Amino acid sequence: MAVFTIWLVATITFFLMFLVPGGPFLAEKSPSPATLEALNRKYGLDQPVIVQYKNYMLNLLKGDFGESIKQRGRTVGKIISTGFKVSARVGGIAILVSVLIGVPLGSIAALNRGKWLDNLIMVGATFGIAVPGFVLSTVLMIIFSVWLNWLPTYGLSSWRHYIMPVMALSFYPTAYISRLMRTSMLDVLGQDYMRTAKAKGLSQFRTLFKHALRNAILPVVTYLGPLIAYTLTGSIIIEKIFTVPGLGNEFISSITGRDYTMIMGTTIFLATLVIIMNLLVDIAYKIIDPRIKLN
Amino acid sequence: MKDVNKKQKPFSLHLDVSDFLPADKEEKQSLVIMRESVSFWRDGARRFKKNKVAMTSLIIIILILIFAFILPSFYPYSYEQQVRESENLAPLQYSEAELKRMEAGEKVFPHFLGTDKLGRDITARLMMGSRISLLVGLVASVLVLIIGSLYGSIAGYFGGKVDLVMMRIVDIIYTIPDILIIILLMVTLKYPLQDLANTVPGFGWINDIGIGLISIFIVFSLLYWVGMARIVRGQILSLKEQEYVTAARALGASHRRIIGKHLLVNCIGPLIVTTTLQIPSAIFTESFLSFIGIGVQAPMPSLGSMAADAIGGIYSYPHRLFAPAIMISLIILSFNLLGDGLRDAFDPKLKN
């Protein structure tokens, strides 16, 4: 299933590129017919579409995305791998932050149901869901860089550079996870086994961590799949704002520069990554929760 | 009515004779339903009106709608009008040329939010940008509603192999990271649409609406209906087992009639709620696309592109960023809260 989806994405991407008339080289200063022909031959664009498709797919199987059209001499694979290392670091930290903050916040809200703390957290979470990432990051930039002058606005050379991108990227998932956690925690706290645990004299700590949290965290685990997808695609815009030299930034510049092999490479790469991550999360979920059988 | 006899033991099997007396007129009266029956809509509306948060968000949405659709007709500046010598004004500031005109006794309408670097009034652009965002949200949600509910109801109603194949397709589309495909489509759809608008007669309207907007609609109708389809299918699966469907079938109603007249009408609650919650997500995507420069095309403003334009002058003119940023957050927030309120009012089952 996952393999089929990846193939489908690759195929859609490939044929969408052919919808664009004129070919990739017309985007540049109009080359002479001879150079155009030479360029087309070099990238194999003179062959019929089906042959090109076959070649591209075969190369793709070998993990070869071809050469970037705009950044001459660099292969798409290389650009992706350098960009992805940066993106993965920022995204990984953001995921970690959102889980580590969202889960406790949601649990605290559930344990203080109806009190001011619960209301405060839920109001915050509602706002967190409503504010788009790019709005938040620009506002953060104004506050921390323009007004307070605490944090640098672009680049990624020290730990202080990470603060704003990570904050911007983890805001929405933190809000979402805390809402998710609150509902599932409330659900678990009302279960009979919680009363049993308390009745047999387990400490508050043990009931909470051993019984409540382990069950309540399951929806959060399911959310990890979409969360990874969100951080990967969300980073596209946040990397642009904070000029982080990651994959998202490469993706945007490839789109504005009409660098077709790059667009295709990044799309297929990111889509594959998201699909595989979803699959892994599915499997992990089934390991954590023995009630769900594999297939 | 039964008078409790103290002597009667609680577990005695003795029957109380008074239970079997014919009811008198007064008793019969109490069985007549005094209150008229409450319809689905009125019941939901009653619950909705009690919800303060939802009512507030509804009022805010109405205000924003007025701001975006009615106010621009009365506003002296248009979104593309470039006022000469009034570039880069701060909020409520007048340019020298305008001050001179005011001295001469002319009335000059203030620029509430100042002007941008081309001398365009930011308030007017904010109105137009909100209009675009709202239009995208509403139209896209209606498209999603139509496609998703038709697809989902057909899959759910026919079941079996049809259902299996159709829902597999949904699963596949669901796992595709949508933002990527959307960006890709936005880039690639531009040229074919341009060709279509310029060469084929009868498609000139594409240019009137704008290629960016059309692509957004196409993209939404291609990718965003899957959530709706899943929800509708789930509803239909349980509804189609109901007796009235069997009755309709026995009376010879066609599949089309059963789906349209009986099944879809009965899942109107979830349909409304899901459509309302679709609006903010569509608005969000549109602003995202416009922000990275592939959404609505200039000179048409969009909240996303206004924010993107403002980033360049973030040090000198932060208010230009705040205006669209606050607007878009407000729109998304109030539609989200409205959707939650509608769900609580019309579809209590969906509440987790």
Task: Name the residue ranges covered by the structural domains of chain A.
Answer: 76-288
**Using a CB cutoff of 8 Å and minimum separation of 24, what contacts does A90-94 make?**
A90/A156, A90/A162, A90/A165, A90/A166, A90/A169, A90/A235, A90/A239, A90/A244, A90/A246, A91/A169, A91/A228, A91/A231, A91/A232, A91/A235, A93/A162, A93/A166, A93/A170, A94/A165, A94/A166, A94/A169, A94/A170, A94/A173, A94/A231
| DSSP per residue, A194-223 | HHHHHHTT--HHHIIIIIIIHHHTHHHHHH
A89-100 pLDDT, tens per residue?
888 888 999 999
Chain B residues with CB-CB distance to A275 below 8 A:
175-176
d(CA B53, CA B335): 11
pLDDT at A186: 85
pLDDT at B60: 92
Q: Which residue of A has its CA nearest to B180?
A: A267
Chain A residues with CB-CB distance to B176 below 8 A:
5, 8-9, 271, 275
Q: What three-state secondary structure class fits B96?
A: helix
A119-170 pLDDT, tens per residue?
888 888 888 888 888 888 888 888 887 777 777 776 667 777 778 888 888 8
d(CA A18, CA A10): 13
d(CA A103, CA A110): 11
Which residues are within 8 A (CB) of B180 and not within 5 positions of it... i.e. 6 or more apart?
A233, A266, A267, A270, A271
pLDDT at A295: 42
Which residues are within 8 A (CB) of B36 and not within 5 positions of it... i.e. 6 or more apart?
none
Using alpha carbons, select from A86, A104, A101 the residue that is nearest to residue A165: A86
A240-264 pLDDT, tens per residue?
788 788 888 888 787 777 777 787 7
Which ranges of B159-267 does DSSP label H, i.e. alpha helix? Answer: 160-175, 178-199, 205-209, 211-223, 225-239, 243-250, 255-257, 264-266
Residue B268, judged by CB atoms within 10 A of its CB (0-12, 13-18, 19+), counts as middle
Higher-confidence residue of B334 and B198: namely: B334
How near does any CA of chain B get to the CA of A201, in Å? 31
Which residues are within 8 A (CB) of B7 and not within 5 positions of it... i.e. 6 or more apart?
none
Is B305 in contact with B210 (CB distance < 8 Å)? no
Q: Which of A77-81, A208-212, B200-204, B324-328 has the lowest mean pLDDT?
A: B200-204
Average pLDDT over residues B212-234: 85
pLDDT at B1: 45
Q: What three-state secondary structure class fits B215?
A: helix
Q: Which residue of B has its CA nearest to A184?
A: B352
Report field, pTM of the whole predicted structure over 0.90 = no
Interface test with B, best of A13, A19, A138 (most B CBs within 10 A): A138
How near does any CA of chain A get to the CA of B150, in Å? 24
Q: Which residue of B has its CA nearest to A9?
A: B176
Higher-confidence residue of B344 and B61: namely: B61
**Structure tokens that stand for B284 in this block:** 């969000």
Average pLDDT over residues B251-256: 88
What is the rounded end-to-end Cα distance, in angstroms, of chain A?
Answer: 13
Q: Does domain A76-288 have CATH number 1.10.3720.10?
A: yes
A77-97 per-residue burial string, b: 16 or more CB within 10 A, e: under 16: bebbeebbebbbebbebbbeb
A14-57 pLDDT, tens per residue?
777 766 655 555 555 556 667 767 766 766 666 677 777 787 77
Is A152 in contact with A161 (CB distance < 8 Å)? yes
Q: Is the ipTM of this complex over 0.95?
A: no
